[in-house]
Structure 1
Amino acid sequence: LGPAPGGGGHLLLPTGEGVGQALAEGARRLGWRVTRRVAYVARPAATLAKDGLAALAAGRVEAVLFFSAATARAFRRALPPLLVRSLSDIHAIVLAPKIAAALDPAEWARISMAMRPHQDAMLECLARREDGDAVIRS
């Protein structure tokens, strides 16, 4: 998002509940008139899907990608206590430092952060299956 046009442009910013404030503030600093509206509300699942739990229990999960700190926290809360130790063999890949901070490094085999905050950078990190970009803990 670049500077607003000469007279200031109007930006409609539909967001999820509790997100988008920083983007709206940044746009305002660039001269945009921002109307931010909540378009959806996300609620964390109380449990993980049965097939995901089965894959974790069987040791078939090699990596987990986290795109938000809220998702990382919700994943951990939904994980049954008996499966926590399965994380020690799994590579966590995160999009940003705030997301890495939401994970307990002692629980994971490795936590890596993509060099760019973009899905493609996370997939590149996954494809390499090595130290990837920035290794938080190895």
Structure 2
Amino acid sequence: MGPLILNTRPEADSQELETTLLQRGYRLLSAPMLRIEFPQNPDQLDLADVQALIFTSANGVRAFTRQCDDRRYPALCVGDATARTAQQAGFTDIRSANGDIHDLARLIKDQIDPTNGALFHPAARKVAGDLGSLLRDGNFDIRRQTMYDAVPSDCLPNEVVSAISAHHIDAVLFFSPRTAESFVKLIERHKLQKDLVGTRAICLSSAVQDRLSVLTWLKTEVAKHPTQEYLLSALENAFA
């Protein structure tokens, strides 16, 4: 049997990931650390004079497409997973930064003329970085609108608690600082801090790793580039 992996990513983002893990021989448990919620009565979208859309997550694509049927806008995506979601939603002009928010800012500076109009950013209530500040010196008009919320989970599934207590989980995957923060709080709530000493933490970025530093791990691995493909490479390296 392969190593037992705990996936903490939200359910909507996990189908492709979990299929890949199973194909590579890993066993899986799932404990989404964030629950994505869309407003029941969303605000009207302000798309006047918008030249392109900014998607910093697949959930941004989902939020936008719940409220707007127009797919003619160029979709500026933080990474390939978000770009694939945009493609599945019907967008045709899709540009992927294949990285993090800093890579996305560079893509926008390189490919977008700020004089052609505003950039509309469907965002979560809490965002991981300040894209506006990264683009401030380029005179871009970033029109950010809160369109969904990522709510931290308030419990761990019983089977996950049992597996951690029994030291059965070989590695945990973390894709964002907020999922890491939620995980730490739940580990402390369940008093499982001493039960991760034989477990590996696989982190998308150093910012994710920082949120997990209060826990004692067998080892931590950080993806060389903030993409799912590189995170899976870090997972493989953890067992080398």
TM class by shorter chain equals 0.7 to 0.9
AA paired with 1:107?
Answer: T
Q: Trace 1:56-67 onto structure 2 (pairs within 5 A).
A: 56-67=164-175
Q: Trace 1:35-54 onto structure 2 (pairs within 5 A).
A: 35-54=143-162
Cα deviation, residue 20, structure 1: 5.6
Q: TM-score, normalised by structure 2?
A: 0.49
Residues 170 and 199 in structure 2, CA contact (< 8 A), matched pair in contact too: yes
Distance 2:216 2:237 in 1: 22
The equivalent position to 1:84 in structure 2, one of 193, 215, 220, is 193
Greater relative contact order, per chain length (Cα 8 Å cut-off, separation 6+): 2
Deviations 1:24-64 (A, max 9, x none): 33244334321101111122122111222122123221111
Q: 2:121 is matched with which residue?
A: 13
Indicate yes or no: 2:130 matched with 1:22: yes
Call closer, same or farther: CA 1:130–1:20 in 2, change over 3 Å: closer
Q: Trace 1:88-127 onto structure 2 (pairs within 5 A).
A: 88-104=197-213, 107-127=216-236
Q: Secondary structure at the match of 2:197?
A: helix
How many residues matched?
130
Distance 2:118 2:228 in 1: 28
Q: Segments of 4+ in structure 1 off by > 6 A?
A: none
Indicate yes or no: 2:108 matched with 1:2: yes
Structure 1 residue runs of 5 or longer lacking an equivalent are 132-138
Cα deviation, residue 122, structure 1: 0.7
Call closer, same or farther: CA 1:109–1:21 in 2, change over 3 Å: closer
Distance 1:6 1:40 in 2: 26
Deviations 1:71-116 (A, max 9, x none): 11211111210x2222100000112222211113661111111111
RMSD: 2.1
Cα deviation, residue 7, structure 1: 2.2
Deviations 1:110-129 (A, max 9, x none): 11111111111111111233
Q: 2:89 is matched with which residue?
A: none
Call closer, same or farther: CA 1:35–1:6 in 2, change over 3 Å: closer
Residues 16 and 42 in structure 1, CA contact (< 8 A), matched pair in contact too: yes
Identity of counterpart residues, as a percentage?
A: 27
Call closer, same or farther: CA 1:114–1:15 in 2, change over 3 Å: same
Cα deviation, residue 22, structure 1: 1.5
Q: Secondary structure at the match of 1:35?
A: strand
Cα deviation, residue 6, structure 1: 6.3
